[in-house]
Amino acid sequence: GAAAAAGVLAGCGGGRAGGAGVSLRVRNVQGLTHTLNSAFPIWPGFAPIQVTNIRSFEKDGFFANTWQAPEHHGTHVDAPIHFGKGAWSADQIPDQALVCPAVLIHVHERAASNPDTQVTVGDLRAWERQHGKIPEGAAVLMHSGWEARAGDINAFRNMDGKGTMHFPGFSKEAAEFLLKERSINGIGVDTLGLDHGASQDFAVHFGLLPANKWGIENLANLAKIPPAGATLFVGLPKVQGASGGTARILAVW
């Protein structure tokens, strides 16, 4: 939704501590986070979140729950250590790396007929022809329209008879281009994985995360933000040693 114009001071330093601050005039705030509950689709083999009430107003005078959930559930961040031994854990990611220019790549038209479609280097170069070079410290986000399936775990996983999932993601070549030719903080998708669902080698995970880049999976509402000009705020819990975590993601512009 829209917010009153406000000044925000944020460091967009490409993951470097002490990056120069920039002043942002914010008129729009868009949440990019799915509401998490036990019905939200999760990677096969993992148990969904369980929320248990432990205090009630009637008995205790206040309300509180306890959660039991895997780190990688719902709209969440993959910290670099998730696929990179010795890379940053969630608490080690610099604050400046969690405030980023948002680059939005639309593949929803292809995804409508080809669930295995991937973000390509051609897609990235097409974005740059229209909007200029991908900004330093950017978060490059894929919009495939997959969130429309989030209410149906079978449709969201889109698993075939052999147990292979089919959903869009980034290609290995696009990930390598962003890592070697551009200076980004991370990438994000509106599907269950940074790699496309049929991937057998998780090349995007293994390529980007060990280089201290993060990933966001299961984003929502990407169609509601501009392709360029927004800033992403990643609200990642600072849990020591965590490989990631459920996050509240906001875009402002």
- For residue 22, count other CB atoms closer than 10 A to its CB: 14
Q: What is the mean pLDDT of the chain?
A: 93
SS (H, E, C) the chain: CEEEEEEEEEECCCCCCCCCEEEEEEEEEEECECCCCCCCCCCCCCCCCEEEEEECHHHHCCCEEEEECCCCCCCEEECHHHCCCCCCCHHHCCHHHHEEEEEEEECHHHHCCCCCCEECHHHHHHHHHHHCCCCCCEEEEEECCHHHHCCCHHHHHCECCCCCECCCEECHHHHHHHHHCCCEEEEEECCCCCECCCCCCCHHHHHHHHHCCEEEECECCHHHCCCCCEEEEEECCCCCCCCEEECEEEEEC
Rounded distance between C-alpha atoms, residue 31 and residue 2, angstroms: 11
Mean pLDDT, range 213-226, rounded to an integer: 98
Is residue 214's pLDDT more than 90?
A: yes
b/e per residue 62-92 (b: at least 16 CB within 10 A): eeeeeeebbbbbbbbbbbbbbbbeebbbbee
Give the pLDDT confidence of 161-185 residue by residue, as tens digits.
Answer: 999 999 999 999 999 999 999 999 9
Give the pLDDT confidence of 69-118 residue by residue, as tens digits.
Answer: 999 999 999 999 999 999 999 999 999 999 999 999 999 999 999 999 99
Can you give the pLDDT at residue 22?
62
Is residue 8's pLDDT more than 50?
A: no
Instruction: Look up the pTM and report it.
Output: 0.91
Q: Are 229 and 196 in contact (CB under 8 A)?
A: no
Can you give the pLDDT at residue 235?
98
Handedness of CA 220, 224, 180, 126 (dihedral sign): positive
- For residue 126, count other CB atoms closer than 10 A to its CB: 13
Can you give the pLDDT at residue 1?
39
